Structure 1
Amino acid sequence: MARLILIFVCLALTCERGYALEPSHRLSQYGHSVWKVQDGALPAVPEAMAHGIDGYLWIGTTWGLLRFDGVRFVPWTSAHGEQFASKYITSLLATDDGSLWIGSILGLDRLRDGRLTRISTGPGLVLKIQVGRDGRVWAVQGNPSPIERSLCVVQDDRLQCPAPLPGLDLSANSCCTHGLAQGPDGSLWVGADMALLNWRDGKTDVIRPAALEANRGMGGISAIVATRRGDLWVGMNTPGHEGGLQRVVDGKLQPLLSPELDSSALMIYTLFVDSHDALWVGTGDQGLLRIHGDRVERFRSSDGLSSDTVLRIYEDREGNVWVATTRGLDRFRDLEVVTYTTREGLSSDGVGAVLPRADGSIWIGTIGGLNVLRDGEITTVDAPHRIRNAQITSMLEDAAGRVWIGVEQSMMLYDGSKFTPVADAEGRPPGLVVGLAQDQDRNVWMEAITPHRLMRVAGSKVREQFPAPDIPAARKVAADPAGGIWLGLVSGDLAHFRNGRLDVLSYAEINPTVQDRRVNQLLVQQDGAVLGATEFGLIEAQAGKRRTLTHANGLPCERTFSMLFDAAEDLWLYLECGLVRIRKSELAAWRADPSRRVAVRLFDTLYGSLTSRVPFTPEAARARDGRLWFASANGLQMIDPARADRGDFVPPVHIEAILADRKSYSMGSQLQLPPLTRDIELAYTAPGLALPQKLTFRYRLEGYDEHWQEVGARRQAFYNDLPPGDYRFHVTACTQDGACNAQGATVAFAVLPAFHQTPWFSVIVALAAAALLWALFAWRLRQVAVRLRSRLEASLEERERIARELHDTFLQSVQGLMLKFQSAMEKIPVGEPARHIMEQALERADEVMVEGRTRVTALRRSTQGRHDFTAAIRMLTERVAEDAKGDVRLSVEGEPRMLHPVVGEEAQRILTEALNNTLRHANARNIHIGIIYSRREFVVRLVDDGRGFDVEVLKVAAADGHWGLAGMRERARKIQAQLEIASKPDAGTSIELRVRASIAYATERRERRSAH
């Protein structure tokens, strides 16, 4: 348990029949990824695996249950506090209903929809779980002490042991082990310690392997599997006669015998049949074997396997085969790009030429000789010594079926029976030929680089030679269907040569900083388009138009080695960073708009492509079966476009966790995060087990994000200081091909508000603000009222002063003058005219004194606070009612209060003026005077039903002698009152005076003062 566990993810390439079937040393040539215990990836030995419909790879270990999304191993824990029967998990089974059946050393559990259900409650070691064709779940269970095994079936969420199988008796054959399988005919095969039992229709047949009889129960049948072809394989952990790996044929056991393998000598721990109907064999000390037909592959720790002791083998829904060993977990993946090197039989890893022949064979020219791939086998061509170990630089099969082979500094012609050297016009070797083509006239053109020259061959002899600089130095030559040939020049330009005429199309302005500008390969299409693979991208010429496809157009990198079209007319480019496919439609769109970015699919090292070194003479070719072959310095690479189109698996998307301020929360329909949450992290994933690096994600937080956020391969979302509210997080995943899980995954949550973030707090703040504003307004009103009262009080005091002065000075002085005039008059005899004049003057003086005293009395009265406004208006109403033509009424609302003397006087004068106007001009039938005493204001209102007038006259109040209205407004402004006058012709008139209570009513101080 405490040992260090290395997990090797091993990438095994495929050939014609699915997985890598040629030599048995395929594993060691590819890199592997290692997870160590101290990294927290896999804490214990893997014992069982299952791929659920949720996309996760579930791994049962001696420590517990893990789930793997292709990137991270995460221990499973129940959100509801449930526990497994035991953390030592021995078997797993994922069924289509979403259940994960978990067998342990103490029983059986079922995990579905996040809830764990105990199926068996008693102690019992669950060795194997399997689903039958009828959908029932079977289990092999046993108690370790005493050793006792039972074949059980799950019914009504309970494990029924033994299963109700009449006629099946295990007791006579010791105990049942891991062996359990259902044959093609529906029969049940059960492995026991010393026998193999076949139960069908209530009858049991027994096969007793000799190796188990000799071993007396110390071993046993460890595994039983049935292939779709109908083969039944039995694995025993005891080697020997009828032991090891055996196939059941007509009720008898037969080992697999070949020059490389005797299957009876193996110690078998586990067996598995994959989706290709190949048998995978896990041994106790000899690693892993894969048997497909009569072909056997072996992988051991020396080949990169994590251990030679294989415990379990499992194939997931994406086609990955997982191998659990005592030291880790290995993954075998069916790659799109297959590479052939010296391990497969090539003379050298450096491949300079590839030629698919009409007979279906693939001729491969390496820097160490010529090889042929036929029926999955690579052999060396039986050729003269100069070809056998020499560098092959170019190859061509002409219209006659002859093969032209550039061999170092010479050219060889193979006619099917012998190799003949081809000399130049002087009878010497033509040099290092890097380009070959046959034109419409059946001339073979050769381009050599030592020295640089172009040669035309007719028959088998060089007829013409065009040395540089007559013909610019080139690297590749291709025939033009319209006649002549095209040359790919070392300058990066294209040239057309026909009948001695040379036309050059220059691309010097394209990326001029590139030093090596050679054209690595040419393709000429039937429509006349010429494509060149260059060091600075793809170039094309068509009908005099030049186009370039570079990084700016969407290429992942620009250095292009070779290219070719597949059967669907999609273009494949062999770039420095891998193989790239450009769809026919994308290519047409680029030709219509050369500035367009094209959509490409990159097959990089994750798909098996190897491009670490530049090939000397890069070439590519398409075989008759549609497969594409690319020469490289690391070997010959092949891709089948039909298999590349199988489409990437689009995994489901899961939101795994929500962390708020570093605290984890369980996701539910009512998830609520606490107030003032600052940092929120959402962890999500899409379990892609084959190519998790190629998955990209985008997400959006509804209620916060306006647009989708494209985040690439990142699997966390971060939000800070979200305001309170309801949110919905939505995440989706897409593959490199653009296939997306549009539904994705969602989770809703709410951030609760703090008290100061609640609507109630806002209401309280609004009310407090309103109260404060009202207090400020009231304070301002009080200030205004105080200032107004101060002015009114000053006015009253001024009136009192004037009254005193008039009484104490003026009237007294006038009275003294009158007394003197009286004395003077009495001295004038009666009857004198002067006496009469003096008497008249004294009478006039008496009238002035009376008027003066009246005025002083009026001033005195105007300063008295006990002026009864209601009584005064009632007297006024009664007086005018006697002479009015209509009905004059007075109404009083509220408790009458004493008015401030100035307010009362001004209000009375305004009302008197309004009433006089009504009596003189309105011709009203009804006049209503209303007085309202309220706590907030004092209101005086006069309403009549007279003929009214145009209110526009108010704007020119002084016009035509209308000084009364202006005077009324002046008096209203004097006491800070609101005067509203509303009238329309023939609609009556309404005059209303409103005075705030703080101004209108007399204070106690004023009343007390007036009383004195």
Structure 2
Amino acid sequence: MPLLTVCRCSAYNLLWLLRGLLVTLAVATHAVATTAVGTDNDMVGLDNYFSESWSTVDGLPHNTVNAIAQTPDGYLWFATWEGVARFNGRRFDIFDRSAQTGLPDSGIRTLNVAANGDLLAAGARGGIARVSGHQWQSYPPLGVLINKALVDSQQRLWLATEGGGVVLQLPDGSRRQFTEDNGLPANAAHSLFEDDLGQIWVGTMAGLALIDNSLALSQPFKDQLSLPVFAVAANSQQQLLIGTERGLYQLNEQQQLILLLADVPVATLLPEASGELWIGTVDRGLIRLFHTKLEQLSIEQGLPNNRVLALFRDKERSLWVGTNGGVFRLRDAPFTTYTNEHGLADNYVRTVLSDQADCVYVGSSRGLDQICNGTIRNIDLSSHANGQSVLSLALGQQQSLWIGTYTDGLLHYANGEVVAHYRSEDGLAANEVRAILPRPDGSVLVGTSQGLTLIQQGKLTTPVAASSLPSPFIMTLHQTGDGRVFIGSGAGVSIWHNNQIRQLDFSVLDQAEYAFGFMEDPEAGILWMTTDRGLVAFDLTNEQLALVGRNHGMPFDKLFQLVIDKQQHFWISTNRGVLRLARQQALDVIYGLRDQINYELFGESDGMASAQANGGSSPAASLHSDGSVWVATSVGASKVQPARLHSFSAVIPPVVLEKLIVDGKQFLPEQTIQLAAGTSRIELEYAGLGFIMPQRIRYRTRLDGFEQDWAVRGNQTNVQYTNLAPGHYRFNVAASYPDGGWSPAATVSFSIAPYLWQRPLFQLLVLLVLIVLVSSTVRWRLGSLKRSELKLKLQVAEKTAELAALARLDSLTGLANRRAFDEAMQHELNRAKRQHEPLCLALLDIDHFKKVNDNWSHTVGDEVLKRVAATLQTHCRDIDSLARWGGEEFVILLPDTPIAMAEEVCDRLRQQVASADYSDIVSGLTVTLSIGLAILDDKNDGKQLLIDADKALYQAKKQGRNTVITNDSDGHDTLQ
């Protein structure tokens, strides 16, 4: 959703607000083409906040949000008429009338967080429940709607009801009721507030009541406030604020009621320490009052509904607004977007240019604007440009401005007027001007849709014939210090120097064609080119080309404009958002020091009105003098201040464990859980409770008892473990924002019981029984013939050998197990090093095996494992050692085998598995393998050999699966 346009200047819209304001409001408006964005210096204008909303479409159970709260663990809770919705930033979990909650009705009217962190929910039919972690505890219902719940400083529970007055519930469970009979103005009570003296203020349908520390009830303002009171609060000076059906009152230091706003039906209040007062109204939206400034948000400005029932400020300083149309959120965002609602000539912005001082020029489809310190001024070009569509901008001499248009040629603007106008009839190659390059000698090179034009001392010439260019459609121009002019077109890049033209060969760069923008990096001696196949680096010294593209982690092909900020990061505009990546990472890729880049992608959720940036014009992004980066988009001009990004990652999101699922059965993750023997699949779901950038939260996990180090999970919010051995485990998960610190880990412990035969005592007893049996048999046979004695010893030896064999075989596939493989591997390692023979190791993984289990069953998965194992065993060589590594993975040792021969063996095995018939298991089932292969050398040992093979297997998975990847001794992966 775009940034808000705030209604605060129109006398018509604010007449009903201003009538009751008893302070002087200085409201100034400009009726001309200058629009002020923001308010005074004391606060950020509401139009600089980013807004979002959620409704039943997004998972809320009901669009009326009566109350909002946040528990210490970080969850946000929303009270609705169809239950309480718990929000983790991505998903709503609904708690309504059920055995779990114990509530008599799903309608929830009020939420309150107690000092110990428990959540109190109350509402229809007098239902009351307390939530502690994952546990719900209900209380005896009152039988009447509860409008407000409050846990005071003495841990007493106060309940304001609809028709039953006020109920006080003491910690021992006893209750006391206050009604009209003992002095309450009305039995319908809507609000409760505890002041700094511990007194309870009660807002009723007939006025305000006070219950002091002795529980005496009075009506301090009976004559002045005999009307419905919906909200009571106190400002930062502890002055009482009273929201009524007919306006907002304040109790001053002289204990006098002052009318702040008249004729404004106030539903809820949120005072802040900064002095701001947020006012939710019954039918007029959201109001902010700050000193002498009033601002309003209503349906016209994006509020889901004008009835505001709840206001809440969360730990990340976002403001949450509960309305009759869903929940609405105002927050700070990395990007600010200026649109026609703020005063721009048009939303479709094609070019932005900093004047390197205080202002930024914005060229759009309907004209040119200048933004200076938040003020937008329209530059009227109508006398020279019919459509006023601006495609390109460039700074000229003496603070002048060159303006390229879509249909009206080139304009030169200086001293507030157009001083020159060049069209095709004047010698311009075409009236569509997409790139402008003022040169040090005072000439101007103009890139059009039909070629180049050089303007020198008012004369227009054609420096390069259009036929000499790969394409006459020029989109960008750049000149280096040595005079080389780079020309970006729809068919590549040309260099014009000393009146000579030559083309760069992009064919080796993933067939790149379009060059959208240039950015010189003097420190690195690189000219960066944004193209339709990624980021091209041109070495200005040796003229070598390199590509940072999809193969290196770039998410998109088409990149429009690159800007290098003051923090040495690239900002790159694209059709699908703005990318941010470290400049050093891009340099490391082109120098061969790393394979992948890491990036952040910014879009609508980060304050952009549209993630679609525009390209094919120049410049499409610009670095301003204050360090901010400006981007031309399809909906406005967006800016970001990179220096502020750390503030968004400074808050560390807490992390919670939400689900523990064991073989399909769900457990509460806050318990120490004892799991039965034979447990095969354990799944844990978790969430980082950050609401500013939930899609960017990163996770890492570690299972103590199984893993030594943290495993980085990216934005994955669940993890699975299968076939864990019996034992004790503790799962740890932590979360962070990009570039931020990690949260304290959330943990859960569980134990997997062994089978009876896996217990040490049982194994000891079996051993003792065997010993007794054998010894008894030996004694009984002492008198037998020596032949019988030898026969018995042979039988015992055979039995022992069978037991030993069973301990070395995988029970499912019949292959050697990991223990047997470890012994074989140590033997082969020693032999290979002793005899200087090659030794290769291959890790094999069944592709998409999880889908087999998920789509059919684990029984089918077991059959597939057995079939693959049999196929591998059939086609392995006699000298090879085959074993099941774990799960769907196998491992093969290939002794005395050069790498080339090992690749042939692995590829033959891969083909045999792929061509095998599995129709007797599941009709139409196909199975493929990904294989990672490595060879032993003097630099590594057995552990490193496994690591190298695992890296190759990872690359095989990444490069499409059903393939063999070799990790050579230098750590490079090769595809077979």
TM range (shorter): 0.5 to 0.7
Equivalent position of 1:396 in the other structure: 394
Q: How far, CA to CA, are the matches of 1:328 and 1:397 in structure 2?
A: 48
Equivalent position of 2:908 in the other structure: none
Equivalent position of 1:895 in the other structure: none
Measured against aligned partners, the alpha-carbon deviations of 1:839-858 in whole angstroms (never above 9, x if no partner) come to xxxxxxxxxxxxxxxxxxxx
Equivalent position of 1:148 in the other structure: 165
Normalised TM-score (structure 1)? 0.62
Equivalent position of 2:932 in the other structure: none
User: Does 2:644 align with 1:643?
Assistant: yes
Q: How far, CA to CA, are the matches of 2:627 and 2:172 in structure 1?
A: 53
Equivalent position of 1:962 in the other structure: none
Q: How far, CA to CA, are the matches of 1:186 and 1:466 in structure 2?
A: 84
Q: How far, CA to CA, are the matches of 2:436 and 2:197 in structure 1?
A: 59
Cα pair 2:698 2:715 within 8 Å, conserved: yes
Equivalent position of 2:446 in the other structure: 447
Equivalent position of 2:78 in the other structure: 59
CA gap 1:44/1:759 in 2 versus in 1, 3 angstroms: farther
Equivalent position of 1:598 in the other structure: 597
Cα pair 1:86 1:107 within 8 Å, conserved: yes
User: Does 2:412 align with 1:413?
Assistant: yes
Equivalent position of 1:510 in the other structure: 509
Q: Larger C-alpha radius of gyration, 1 or 2?
A: 1
CA gap 1:117/1:388 in 2 versus in 1, 3 angstroms: same
Match of 2:733 among 731, 734, 743: 731
Q: How far, CA to CA, are the matches of 1:668 and 1:279 in structure 2?
A: 39
Q: How far, CA to CA, are the matches of 2:133 and 2:100 in structure 1?
A: 14
Greater CA drift, 312-321 or 660-669: 660-669
Cα pair 2:337 2:638 within 8 Å, conserved: yes
- Deviation, structure 1 residue 54: 0.4
Greater CA drift, 47-56 or 602-611: 602-611
Give the aligned CA root-mean-square deviation in angstroms: 4.8
- Counterpart of 1:652, as a letter, is P
Equivalent position of 1:93 in the other structure: 112
Equivalent position of 1:684 in the other structure: 686
Match of 2:321 among 320, 323, 329: 323
CA gap 1:181/1:144 in 2 versus in 1, 3 angstroms: closer
Measured against aligned partners, the alpha-carbon deviations of 1:630-668 in whole angstroms (never above 9, x if no partner) come to 113343222222332323343222223434344444456
Equivalent position of 1:672 in the other structure: 674
Greater CA drift, 386-395 or 291-300: 291-300
CA gap 1:527/1:455 in 2 versus in 1, 3 angstroms: farther
Q: How far, CA to CA, are the matches of 1:583 and 1:390 in structure 2?
A: 37
Measured against aligned partners, the alpha-carbon deviations of 1:873-931 in whole angstroms (never above 9, x if no partner) come to xxxxxxxxxxxxxxxxxxxxxxxxxxxxxxxxxxxxxxxxxxxxxxxxxxxxxxxxxxx
Report how many aligned residue pairs link the two structures: 740
Equivalent position of 1:532 in the other structure: 529
Cα pair 1:48 1:59 within 8 Å, conserved: yes
| Equivalent residue runs for 1:172-571 within 5 Å | 177-178=189-190, 191=203, 193=205, 213=226, 217=227, 220-225=228-233, 234-236=242-244, 238=245, 243-245=246-248, 251=256, 253-254=258-259, 264-273=262-271, 279-289=277-287, 294=293, 296-300=295-299, 305-357=303-355, 360-374=358-372, 376=374, 378-387=376-385, 389-407=387-405, 408-423=407-422, 427-429=426-428, 431-441=431-441, 443-458=442-457, 462=460, 465-469=463-467, 473=472, 474-481=474-481, 485-493=485-493, 495=495, 497=497, 500=499, 505-512=504-511, 514=512, 516-523=513-520, 525=522, 528-540=525-537, 541-544=539-542, 545-571=544-570
Cα pair 1:353 1:365 within 8 Å, conserved: yes
Normalised TM-score (structure 2)? 0.64
Q: Secondary structure at the match of 1:732?
A: strand
Cα pair 1:47 1:91 within 8 Å, conserved: yes
Equivalent position of 1:660 in the other structure: 662
Q: Secondary structure at the match of 1:675?
A: coil
Q: How far, CA to CA, are the matches of 1:367 and 1:535 in structure 2?
A: 24
Measured against aligned partners, the alpha-carbon deviations of 1:701-740 in whole angstroms (never above 9, x if no partner) come to 3334566555544434434444432222222334344643
User: Does 2:87 align with 1:68?
Assistant: yes
Measured against aligned partners, the alpha-carbon deviations of 1:389-431 in whole angstroms (never above 9, x if no partner) come to 3211112232411122112342212222321233379844563
| Equivalent residue runs for 1:748-763 within 5 Å | 748-763=749-764
Q: How far, CA to CA, are the matches of 2:631 and 2:637 in structure 1?
A: 6
Measured against aligned partners, the alpha-carbon deviations of 1:185-210 in whole angstroms (never above 9, x if no partner) come to 99997755555689999999966797
More relative contact order in 1 or in 2 (CA 8 Å, sep 6+)?
Answer: 2
Q: How far, CA to CA, are the matches of 1:77 and 1:661 in structure 2?
A: 27
Cα pair 1:22 1:377 within 8 Å, conserved: no
- Deviation, structure 1 residue 177: 4.7
Q: Secondary structure at the match of 2:346?
A: coil
Measured against aligned partners, the alpha-carbon deviations of 1:370-407 in whole angstroms (never above 9, x if no partner) come to 23335545453233344373211112232411122112
- Counterpart of 1:727, as a letter, is Y
Q: How far, CA to CA, are the matches of 1:288 and 1:170 in structure 2?
A: 36
Q: Secondary structure at the match of 2:399?
A: coil
Measured against aligned partners, the alpha-carbon deviations of 1:508-565 in whole angstroms (never above 9, x if no partner) come to 32111x4x42233444647753222222222233322444322233322231111212
CA gap 1:235/1:758 in 2 versus in 1, 3 angstroms: same
Greater CA drift, 539-548 or 624-633: 539-548
Q: How far, CA to CA, are the matches of 1:379 and 1:198 in structure 2?
A: 54
- Counterpart of 2:601, as a letter, is L
- Counterpart of 1:559, as a letter, is K
Q: How far, CA to CA, are the matches of 1:189 and 1:109 in structure 2?
A: 23
- Counterpart of 2:365, as a letter, is I
- Deviation, structure 1 residue 580: 1.6
Q: Secondary structure at the match of 2:695?
A: helix
- Deviation, structure 1 residue 367: 1.5
| Equivalent residue runs for 1:805-820 within 5 Å | none
Cα pair 1:188 1:199 within 8 Å, conserved: yes
CA gap 1:788/1:637 in 2 versus in 1, 3 angstroms: closer
Greater CA drift, 657-666 or 641-650: 657-666
Q: How far, CA to CA, are the matches of 1:62 and 1:268 in structure 2?
A: 21
Identity of aligned residues (%): 22
- Deviation, structure 1 residue 775: 5.9
User: Does 2:634 align with 1:633?
Assistant: yes
Q: Secondary structure at the match of 2:165?
A: strand
Measured against aligned partners, the alpha-carbon deviations of 1:806-861 in whole angstroms (never above 9, x if no partner) come to xxxxxxxxxxxxxxxxxxxxxxxxxxxxxxxxxxxxxxxxxxxxxxxxxxxxxxxx
| Equivalent residue runs for 1:685-724 within 5 Å | 685-705=687-707, 710-724=712-726
Q: How far, CA to CA, are the matches of 1:174 and 1:728 in structure 2?
A: 56
Q: How far, CA to CA, are the matches of 1:156 and 1:142 in structure 2?
A: 19
Q: How far, CA to CA, are the matches of 2:626 and 2:115 in structure 1?
A: 37
CA gap 1:208/1:627 in 2 versus in 1, 3 angstroms: farther
| Equivalent residue runs for 1:6-17 within 5 Å | none
**Consecutive unaligned residues in structure 2, runs of 5 or more:** 6-36, 791-976
Equivalent position of 1:784 in the other structure: 785
Q: Secondary structure at the match of 1:740?
A: coil
**Consecutive unaligned residues in structure 1, runs of 5 or more:** 1-9, 163-168, 257-263, 790-1012
Cα pair 1:11 1:332 within 8 Å, conserved: no
Equivalent position of 2:870 in the other structure: none
Cα pair 1:126 1:139 within 8 Å, conserved: no
Q: Secondary structure at the match of 1:493?
A: strand
- Counterpart of 2:349, as a letter, is V
Q: Secondary structure at the match of 1:387?
A: coil
Q: Secondary structure at the match of 1:475?
A: strand
Q: How far, CA to CA, are the matches of 2:111 and 2:184 in structure 1?
A: 29
- Counterpart of 2:394, as a letter, is L
